[in-house]
Structure 1
Amino acid sequence: MDFKIDIPTDSEGFYSLECPYCNERFKANADDYEGEDTLELFCPSCGLVGERSSFIPKDVIEHAETLAANFMQQEIFNSFKKTSRKMKGSGISFDMKRPKAEEPKLLTEDEDLVQIELHCCDKIIKVNIDQMISNVYCPFCGVN
């Protein structure tokens, strides 16, 4: 059984990311983030490095967990529904109600982010305007 959950991008194709150390939010282009050579990311704010998957924001993980739980509940319900049909006439019965799907957490966009071009890797990221005042580390090579 395959179940795929896509991480949403903004209208310009950028993933919302969050530093696992300082919790600062930023965005990186989906193609750059998913590139085969991108195994780790540096936080543009604090400069600490981590696995790229560790930068997926908590709200996106919660959203994905809710979608996965809803899918599994539906699959279990469908399985028991088929079993109850096969058991008709055997003297054993059980009744199951369709599970109520939990509403996934709404994902909001970070509107106060500005694009900056990183000349070291020739990439564009989006950071908070406050970060522009200080040095910005490149998420891909760590240069600031």
Structure 2
Amino acid sequence: MEQKITIPTDSEGYYSLECPYCKERFKALGGDIDAEDTLELFCPSCGLVDDNNKFIPDDVIEHAQTLAMNYMKQQLNDTFKKASRKMKGSGLTLEFKKLKEELPNLLTEDEKLEQIELHCCNKTIKVQADQSIENIYCPYCGVN
């Protein structure tokens, strides 16, 4: 069984990312991150590198885990509801308290990010507005 969970983007198609080391947030275009040749990313702030899946923010992971848990609860509720119907009239009773689903965290974008062009890789990213262009590392090649 496979349940697909999509990571939301902003209105321009940028994913929110977070450095696993310095926790600085930035955004990159989905097509750039999902490209076959993008296996790891460099943090634009600290320049450290890791697998691109390590840059998924904690709030996005929690959101996905809640959606997955709710899906599991729906499947269990359906299964036990069907089982209790099949047992009617057999002399056996099955009591099952329906599992309640949790509301997933809202993924809101309240960050003030500025779009910059990376000439080394001919791509764009969004970084904190107070970062100067000279101090930004390219997430794709690490050039400062």
TM-score using structure 2 length = 0.95
Q: Does 1:2 align with 2:2?
A: yes
Go from structure 1 to structure 2 and tell me whether the alpha carbon gap of 1:143 and 1:19 turns closer, same or farther (over 3 Å shift).
same
RMSD after superposition: 1.2
Amino acid at match of 1:33: I
1:134 is displaced (CA, Å) by 5.2
Deviations 1:33-86 (A, max 9, x none): 111111000000000000000000000000001111111011011111111111
Gaps of at least 5 residues in structure 2 are none
Gaps of at least 5 residues in structure 1 are none
Go from structure 1 to structure 2 and tell me whether the alpha carbon gap of 1:57 and 1:39 turns closer, same or farther (over 3 Å shift).
same
Q: Greater CA deviation, 26-35 or 130-139?
A: 130-139
Tell me how far apart the structure 1 counterparts of residues 141 and 115 of structure 2 sit (CA, whole Å): 18
Tell me how far apart the structure 1 counterparts of residues 112 and 61 of structure 2 sit (CA, whole Å): 22
Number of aligned residues: 144
Q: Which runs of 4+ in 1 moved over 6 A?
A: none
TM-score using structure 1 length = 0.95
- The aligned residue for residue 36 of structure 2 is 36
Deviations 1:4-26 (A, max 9, x none): 10000000000000000000000
Identical-pair percentage: 67
Amino acid at match of 2:49: V
